[in-house]
Amino acid sequence: MNGTIEQRIVGLMVERMGLEPEELTSDARFKEDLGLDSLDMVELVSALEDELGVPVDDEVAASLTSLGSVVAYVKAHRSDAGAVA
């Protein structure tokens, strides 16, 4: 899958969680603005690990509250996890 990190994450969220791309802004909060619950967050973490090769431990997962925070995390950890274009 090509594209920026943000585009890839948005694509995963649209595909796996049924969200609309236009509602996925950098500052949209997962729980408060998008209505995601803890199971959705487990799905997101699983997608990051499976599709992007970025490991996310439980403590970190709790701090990922918006698309912007996920993008920042993936960018910071992508070289540790291998090539994520």
C-alpha span between 48 and 75 (Å, rounded):
12
Task: Collapse the DSSP code of 53 into the 3-class scheme (helix H, G, I; strand E, B; otherwise coil) and give the result.
Answer: coil
Hey, what's the torsion of the CAs at 80, 34, 38, 49, to 10 degrees? -20
Judge whether 80 counts as a catalytic residue.
no
Q: Which of 37, 50, 57, 80 is catalytic?
A: 37
Residues with a catalytic annotation lie at 37
